[in-house]
Structure 1
Amino acid sequence: MSKYANFLSEDRRLVILRILVEMPTYRANSSVLHAVLQEWGHEPSRDQVKTELRWLEEQQLVSLDDVGDGAVLLAKLTERGADVAAGRARVDGVKRPGA
């Protein structure tokens, strides 16, 4: 992965966590996250959003549930994910807030 592609991926992951922080139940589906990422200047495919969500799940920053036939993922922010979004914790692969 190029340095620029890596930077975009790290920023996209932080934006996903920040979106989830703003949701009333700290949950959102991959379709909503896709739409909001576009508003934040990212243009990911739906597959890229799901790939980022699965990576965030591996890091224990979100928990995921398949909705229906797996076409949509439902993400819920974990406590660790909230700490990373706020800059209280750090995970390689997620851009630091304000950095």
Structure 2
Amino acid sequence: MSDYGKTLSKHRRLTILKFLNDSPEYTSNASILVEVCNGFGVRSTRDQIAGELVWLKENSMVTYEENDSFIIASITDHGIQIAEGLTRHDGVKRPGPGR
């Protein structure tokens, strides 16, 4: 993956975590996450979001359930700490001051 691709992934992961952190029940589905990322200028496909969710799950930041082609993701306590800038991870863009 290019440096640009790695940077986009870090931004995409932070966008997902911040959105889940602000969502009712800390949960959303992959289709909404595609629209959210695209709305924040982080162009994303459904496959990219699914891949980022796998990465975030492997790093204990989210959990998710798959029902056929429908994915429901929820943020974990560790993911909340990352989204709020209380903890850092090299694979996720650090949020700016004031979150």
TM bracket, shorter-chain basis:
over 0.9
Matches within 5 A, 1:10-89: 10-67=10-67, 69=68, 71-89=69-87
What fraction of aligned residue pairs are identical, expressed as a percent? Answer: 42
The number of residue pairs the alignment matches comes to 97
- How large is the RMSD of aligned CA atoms in angstroms? 1.1
TM-score (norm 1): 0.94
Cα distance in 2 between the residues matched to 1:64 and 1:46: 15
Secondary structure (helix, strand or coil) at the match of 1:66 reads: strand
Superposed CA deviations along residues 63-85 of structure 1, whole A, max 9, x for unmatched, are 01012x1x121100000000000
Q: Deviations over 1:27-84 (max 9, x none)?
A: 00001111111111122111000000110000000001012x1x12110000000000
Does structure 1 retain, via aligned residues, the 8 Å contact 2:11–2:42?
A: no
Regions of 4+ moved over 2 Å = none
Tell me, which stretches of 5 or more residues in structure 1 are unaligned? Answer: none
Gaps of 5+ in 2: none
Distance 2:70 2:35 in 1: 13
Residue pair 2:29, 2:73 contacting (<8 A) in 1 also: yes
User: TM-score by structure 2 length?
Assistant: 0.94
C-alpha displacement at 1:98, in angstroms? 1.3
